[in-house]
Amino acid sequence: MAENSSGLIFASTPTIEGAGVKLSRVFGFHEVPRLDPFLLLDDFHSENPDDYIRGFPWHPHRGIETVTYMLRGNIEHGDSIGNKGVIGSGDVQWMTAGSGIIHQEMPLETKGMLQGFQLWINLPAEDKMISPRYREIKSADIPAAEFDSGVTVKIIAGTLEGITGPVQDIVRAPSYYHVMLPCGAQFSIQYRKDENCFAYIFKGSGSFNAGEGAEINSGTGIFFSPGKPGGAVSAAAGDSGMEFLFISGKPLNEPIAWRGPIVMNTEEELNLAFREYQNGTFLKS
């Protein structure tokens, strides 16, 4: 990580997860709790099916929400509460693990580039053991705000310019935007001063906050702490334009006990979760 006047800069790093999926980890365990309530962001993209086809076989989650957003390609999903289907290009899967869910996510072979993101959001202590639930949002149901400058923003969660995203019944009510800026365009996004927020640039390059820092390239994130820069982030695209995720949410400020796919508040809760998974009592509903 490195810091400039725009915020804290962090480059994604190559990682292997699941049954051998090659991906880029934007942030994860080592950055906790800096981006609270956000725990992890992965960017998986490849034109080679060997990099992703083994996927993420059956595994448990407890205490978090996972958000999968597909840009290109398809992932087959199934879980222990009976949901199954295919998350296609532009679709979103928002899964609240709560007290416990077991699921699998298996990318399907795609001609050309397969690309998507998975975000983990922590649940507060009072909601760690709520009943699990699953929402699949189709691309056609995700609204977009369009601006005269050519800027387009897809609104997955939160409200922008009076347009509210389709994911509304979620615990922490974060904002999740996909921002697309053409060459030379500028755009400003407001966020609450008590929220943590970050941007992840996955295409092109640009700068933030009136060019106070160096231009940021694809594969790089930037974290803006609460009140800095005062509840607003301005972005300016470089010569090739820029696309980025902009995500914000109010921190929990709670202790975190995290191992693998389970995130609780104490080591005792964490150990109990793994014991229950091993003895077959993990699922509560």
Residue whose tokens read 């927020």 = 197
Segment 148-177, tens digit of pLDDT: 889 999 999 999 999 999 987 777 789 999
Task: For residue 5, name the pLDDT band (cuts at 50, 70, 90).
Answer: low
Tell me what the pLDDT averaged over the chain comes to: 92
Segment 25-79, tens digit of pLDDT: 999 998 989 899 999 999 999 999 999 999 999 999 999 999 999 999 999 999 9
For the chain, the structural domain boundaries read 2-279
Contact 60, 282 (CB under 8 A): yes
CA–CA dist 32, 15 (Å, integer): 17
User: Using alpha carbons only, how large is the chain's radius of gyration in Å?
Assistant: 18
- Whether the per-residue pLDDT at 81 is higher than 80: the answer is yes
What's the confidence (pLDDT) of residue 190? 86
- Amino acid at residue number 102: I
- Amino acid at residue number 257: A
Kindly report the number of other CB atoms within 10 A of residue 275's CB atom.
Answer: 11
Provide the whole-model pTM. Answer: 0.94
Contact 201, 218 (CB under 8 A): yes
Among 114-128, 133-147, 156-170, 219-233, which stretch is predicted with the lowest mean pLDDT?
219-233
Task: For residue 130, name the pLDDT band (cuts at 50, 70, 90).
Answer: very high
Alpha-carbon separation of residue 72 from 15, 44, 57, 69, 124 (angstroms):
20, 11, 21, 9, 32
Segment 197-252, tens digit of pLDDT: 999 999 999 998 865 557 899 999 999 866 555 578 899 999 999 999 999 999 99
Tell me, which fold does domain 2-279 have in CATH?
Jelly Rolls (2.60.120)
Report the run of H or E that residue 115 belongs to, with start and end.
strand 114-122
What's the confidence (pLDDT) of residue 232? 83
Contact 262, 274 (CB under 8 A): yes
Residue 279 has, within 13 A of its CA and on its CB side, a CA count of 6
Beta bridge partners of 234: 188
What's the confidence (pLDDT) of residue 1? 56
